[in-house]
């Protein structure tokens, strides 16, 4: 019977776990809806703004003030690694940490690599493993605002203009749907020009000058691009957590069913054994 008691305790423990994982799934589902709406609304604007700025800046020389398109000999690279502050979301954080590590230790192993970390999970890992972490911005997730992201973007842009970094790469999870996140390592700076030069040709009248427009809009585009990456990652995080908690709840339910079946069989066997003992005792008395 002691064995049956242990099984009952395990079943009760699993039921408590199911309640927790089910609640976490519902919380993530609610947060995902808001985060998904935010990124779906921003993404078309950000993509079109980036496309327009790339085409405009492609026709300008670096001497015209287009300092964010300057392509220097690459020696120093900055990685912006975007994870979350919390776990329990499957491989969401591990995938970004792994991709960043592979880029630094393999693809760009001959360069001076630095990291700006957004999210406690990447901050803790890269600090612990002695990577060159320039700064961390874990508190950004307390309230994700465009103004908060602008501070990070301006710092990166100033460092690039001053020649501190020759290339900046964003590493983050792009939100596709609740079950799918796409790992991105996206070139942030310098601003890339289209391979097809004819794509920049257009019959436009610029007022004020094209240079003034580019100088004004490129910083705005870069700030929006970073904001989009962080919103993408935030939505992907809740999608990954919702999926992970859904699977955890299903697995706990399966385990509970298996233990319940085992408990019923063990209980039935114990009852049968007691009946046989009673019958045997009665027969001994009658004999």
Q: Which residues are catalytic?
A: 89
C-alpha span between 179 and 250 (Å, rounded): 15
| CA dist list (Å): 87 to 9, 24, 92, 118, 218 | 27, 12, 8, 14, 35
Rounded CA-CA distance 50/218 in Å is: 8
DSSP 85-96: S---STTHHHHH
Q: How far is the C-alpha of 133 from the C-alpha of 184, rounded, in Å?
A: 20
- SS3 label, residue 137: coil
Helices (H), the chain: 2-58, 92-102, 120-128, 146-161, 210-286
Cβ atoms 168, 108 nearer than 8 A: no
SS3 (DSSP) at 138: helix
The closest of 137, 141, 129, 72 to 100, measured between CA atoms, is: 129
| Cα 116–chain centre separation | 15
End-to-end CA distance of the chain: 31
The distance of Cα 173 from the centroid of its chain, to the nearest Å, equals: 4
Determine the Cα–Cα distance for residues 152 and 170; give it in Å rounded to an integer. 12
């Amino acid at each position: 019977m002691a064995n049956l008691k242990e099984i009952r305790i395990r079943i009760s423990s699993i039921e408590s776990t199911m309640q927790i994982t089910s609640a976490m799934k519902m919380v993530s589902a609610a947060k995902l809806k808001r985060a998904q709406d935010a990124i779906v609304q921003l993404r078309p604007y950000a993509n079109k703004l980036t496309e327009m700025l790339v085409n405009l800046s492609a026709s300008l020389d670096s001497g015209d003030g287009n300092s964010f398109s300057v392509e220097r000999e690459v020696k120093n690279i900055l990685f912006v690694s975007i994870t979350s502050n919390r776990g329990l979301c499957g491989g969401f954080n591990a995938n970004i940490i792994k991709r960043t590590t592979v880029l630094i230790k393999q693809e760009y192993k001959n360069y001076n690599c630095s990291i700006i970390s957004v999210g406690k999970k990447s901050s803790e890992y890269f600090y612990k493993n002695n990577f060159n972490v320039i700064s961390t911005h874990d508190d950004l997730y307390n309230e994700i605002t465009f103004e908060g992201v602008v501070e990070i973007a301006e710092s990166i842009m100033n460092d690039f203009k001053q020649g501190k970094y020759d290339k900046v790469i964003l590493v983050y999870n792009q939100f596709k749907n609740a079950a799918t996140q796409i790992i991105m390592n996206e070139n942030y700076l310098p601003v890339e020009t289209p391979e097809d030069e004819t794509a920049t040709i257009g019959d436009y009248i610029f007022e004020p000058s094209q240079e003034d427009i580019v100088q004004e809009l490129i910083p705005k585009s870069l700030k929006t691009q970073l904001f989009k990456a962080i919103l993408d990652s935030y939505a992907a995080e809740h999608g990954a957590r919702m999926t992970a908690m859904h699977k955890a709840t299903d697995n706990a339910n399966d385990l509970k069913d298996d233990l319940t079946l085992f408990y019923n069989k063990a209980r039935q066997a114990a009852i049968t054994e007691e009946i046989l003992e009673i019958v045997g005792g009665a027969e001994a008395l009658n004999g």
